[in-house]
Amino acid sequence: MTELTQARTEERIREEAKKALASGEVRAVVGWCATRFDDRTRPFFAETAEECDLLVWNPYCINGTAKFALDDRYPDQKLALILRGCDSRAVNRMLRDKQLKRENLYLIGVVCDGKENPICEECQHKTPLVYDVLIGEPAKEQIYPERFRKIEEFEKLSPDERYAYWAAQYDKCIHCYACRNACPACNCIECYADQYRVGWQGKAADREQNQIYGLTRAFHVGDRCIECGECERVCPMHLPIMRQTRKMLKDINELFGSYEGGLSEEETPALGGFRLDDPDEFM
Amino acid sequence: MIISKLNLNKALQILNESAQVFVPAFEVIEDRAAKKSIREKKFLPYREDLEVELEGPNTVKPPKDILFPNVEKLYQYKAAGEDSYIRETLPEETPKILFGIRPCDMRSIKSMDKVFFTKNYVDSYYARRREYVTIVAIGCTETDRTCFCDSMGIDPNTAPGADVMMNRIEGEEAYLLHAQTEKGEALLKNLESLEGPSENVKAIRTDCTLKIRKIPDLDRKLAEMFEHPIWDKVTKGCIGCGTCTFVCPTCYCFDIDNENYGTEGCKYRCWDSCMFSDYTRMAGGANPRPTKKERLRNRYMHKLSYFNERYGETLCVGCGRCIANCPSHLDISEFIEKSSAVDPKAEVYTESIRAAQGKEA
């Protein structure tokens, strides 16, 4: 079978979305719709058959869809998601973190062709890893050899240079929490940063508070990052946020062997498990 | 008065002698690991080595933080027996010049003036900064694809309320400046030595690229649409971040908090966002705006209806920053068109192909 064309894939997405709604089990299908700009789409909830015809599939379908499932954690009906490879890893992430229940989801996987988003060049999983129905022929998984190259380059800088770089970045940060809100690993019911009465996180958007936020978020995400790049894509101030989570993944890969997050619902995150035969050489 | 582009730097230098001048310019951060530099256009204190760009696209962030800083100390205190004190920390009395702000941003400042000066309350912090600022506005020479100020009743070529209005001259590398206030006259006096010949010059006029269909009484229509099903639909794609509010030139909400070190500390205010859950969260945990639907509705309503009710004008100035920067590509101009066209009494709202594409409302 040959690869599906973009138009045919879009048609199939609409068919599957309509089928899902017609089953009566699904309340809405989350995908993308057009905007007034040809090079932009937006996340869209199709709730009627007519609205399913508004779902699009083109190089600009760049927003993650999975995180919208968290908007209603205790739904009466299933939510259907149109999933690319990265979205499927996001679903695995949230299932593994016990924030979503598989039975509340209906997953329409689409073999992705890469989007107009720089992170897509680094994609290793274009075929969704979890789905109920798959559109397209599974693509061969690719290894992106440059995965940690930027981190290696960055590590060569002196601590002072690295600090100056991040300080300048966090001077730009406007403390909007877009990175957190887009991140599938940021799935806490209540974020520490929203617990203002406790006072973990100051609200002022100054360097100090921005750095505390950035650092805390990075460590909270830790080994759970699925490398979808949403944090960086959504940042209105263009902070290279992936560089923080990638650094941790690089360390994890060096310490614990090859590791990627969100590959399955059952995986044990590198830092979330223990082995009795762990050498514990640092103790 | 005519000033040639070649003399612009000289003009800024002269002005910078007696006041702190802020100009739209590029800030560059070198990223040696990725072997590239990140450039961002923003209002920066003038320096001779700045790469100033008056024309071209508008800045990502509006210049509002010069009048209404992101973080502003209100007073400091000490609680230590006889050494105790409470001291107000008003902004310094330093003259500033905001050079090269756009008509949309000037209109925003006028709206902020209404908030901070009228209804029987004067915000002394904002007032102090406002008093010491002289504003030189520039008419747009090109507009972004997200600019729709003229659909919101603003002319991208004029800026009422600015101290000096500046327009690019047609066919020439020069600007036409004229004072609109006494402050503006004083400013231009400083630049007399740079004045160029002014015969038969004509200022460039620009139009917005994005024209939207807004009904004139949308504010009153929306006031009746609080429970309309359109809100469920248009807010679904929102991720609930604060980007739109922080890049908005007219979002003026703030929160007040303190910072304590031992027996000393200060009270400060900082920008807040109605898109955040804690904005309306009560002490006991109840939240009248529990989801992004209620929050985004509030934001749109504030821009398009509530402000009209209180101050008699629309708060959205059509600068397009929220459209350009929204992670989810939500579009307030699309909402204006959809809500202008929709039946206010409808019980069901279904997105139609044309509406979703923003092509026809």
Domains and CATH numbers, chain A: 6-135 (no CATH), 149-256 (1.10.1060)
**Residue B361: per-residue pLDDT:** 39
Pairwise CB contact (< 8 Å): A165 & B31 = yes
Q: Which of B303, B293, B298, B291 is nearest to B336 (CA)?
A: B303
The residue written with tokens 């089990």 in the block is A25
Between CA A212 and CA A215, with CA A214 as vertex, the angle to 5 degrees is 65
What secondary structure does DSSP assign to B267-323, as a single string? EEEEE--TTSGGGS--TTS--SS-SHHHHHHHHHHIIIIIHHHHHSS-S-----HHH
| Residue ranges per structural domain of chain B | 2-64+91-194, 218-252+273-356
Tell me how far apart the terminal alpha carbons of chain B are, to the nearest angstrom: 44
- Residue of A178, A204, A238 with shortest CB distance to B270: A204
Averaged pLDDT, B291-312 = 97
Sign of the dihedral defined by the CA atoms of residues B68, B69, B71, B72, in that order? negative
pLDDT at A2 over 80: no
User: Most confidently modeled of A162-166, B27-31, B301-305?
Assistant: B301-305
pLDDT at A63 over 80: yes
What confidence tier does B31 reach under pLDDT thresholds 50, 70, 90?
A: confident
Range with the poorest average pLDDT among B5-14, B47-56, B199-208: B199-208
Averaged pLDDT, B103-127 = 96
Query: For A138-197, how does the pLDDT look when each residue is reduced to its tens digit (9 = 90+)?
Result: 988 889 999 999 999 999 999 999 999 999 999 999 999 999 999 999 999 999 999 877
Is the Cβ–Cβ distance between B41 and B223 less than 8 Å? no
> In Å, how far from its chain's centre is CA B269?
18
> In Å, how far from its chain's centre is CA B37?
26
Query: For A128-138, how does the pLDDT look when each residue is reduced to its tens digit (9 = 90+)?
Result: 999 999 999 99
What confidence tier does B62 reach under pLDDT thresholds 50, 70, 90?
A: very high
What is the torsion angle, in degrees rounded to the nearest 10, for the CA atoms of residue B3, residue B6, residue B8 and residue B13? Answer: -120
Pairwise CB contact (< 8 Å): A178 & B350 = no
Whole-structure pTM value: 0.94
What confidence tier does B354 reach under pLDDT thresholds 50, 70, 90?
A: low
**Residue B353: per-residue pLDDT:** 58
Is the Cβ–Cβ distance between B139 and B204 less than 8 Å? yes
Averaged pLDDT, A115-122 = 93
Does A3 or B324 have the greater pLDDT score? B324
**Residue A6: per-residue pLDDT:** 93
Pairwise CB contact (< 8 Å): A44 & B237 = yes
pLDDT at A274 over 90: no
Pairwise CB contact (< 8 Å): B29 & A169 = yes
Query: For A245-255, how does the pLDDT look when each residue is reduced to its tens digit (9 = 90+)?
Result: 999 999 999 98
Host H or E run for residue B100? strand B96-101
- Residue of A50, A182, A196 with shortest CB distance to B239: A182
Averaged pLDDT, B41-63 = 94
Measured distance CA(B192)–CA(B77) in Å, rounded: 47
Interface contact A178, partner B, CB < 8 A:
yes
> In Å, how far from its chain's centre is CA B264?
34
A249-260 core/surface letters (b: 16 or more CB in 10 A; e: else): bbebeeeeeebb
Host H or E run for residue B107? helix B103-117
What confidence tier does A269 reach under pLDDT thresholds 50, 70, 90?
A: confident
Between residues 37 and 56 of chain B, which touch chain A (CB distance below 8 Å)? 38, 40
Amino acid at B9: N
Give the 3-state secondary structure of B227-279: CCCHHHHHHCCCCCCCHHHHHCCCCCCEEEEEEEECCEEEEEEEECCCCCHHH
Measured distance CA(B11)–CA(A62) in Å, rounded: 45
The residue written with tokens 């700045």 in the block is B50
**Residue A39: per-residue pLDDT:** 95
Averaged pLDDT, B215-230 = 96
**Residue B285: per-residue pLDDT:** 86
What confidence tier does A53 reach under pLDDT thresholds 50, 70, 90?
A: very high
Query: For A207-234, how does the pLDDT look when each residue is reduced to its tens digit (9 = 90+)?
Result: 999 999 999 999 999 899 999 999 999 9
Averaged pLDDT, A259-268 = 90
**Residue B360: per-residue pLDDT:** 46
pLDDT at B125 over 50: yes
What secondary structure does DSSP assign to B18-45, as a single string? HSEEEEEEEEEEEETTTTEEEEEEEEEE
**Residue A268: per-residue pLDDT:** 84
Sign of the dihedral defined by the CA atoms of residues B115, B117, B123, B126, in that order? positive
**Residue A139: per-residue pLDDT:** 86
B70-107 core/surface letters (b: 16 or more CB in 10 A; e: else): bbbbeebeeeeeeeeeeeeeebeeeebbbbbbbbbbbb
- Residue of A48, A151, A178 with shortest CB distance to B243: A178
ipTM of the complex: 0.93
Pairwise CB contact (< 8 Å): B350 & A48 = yes
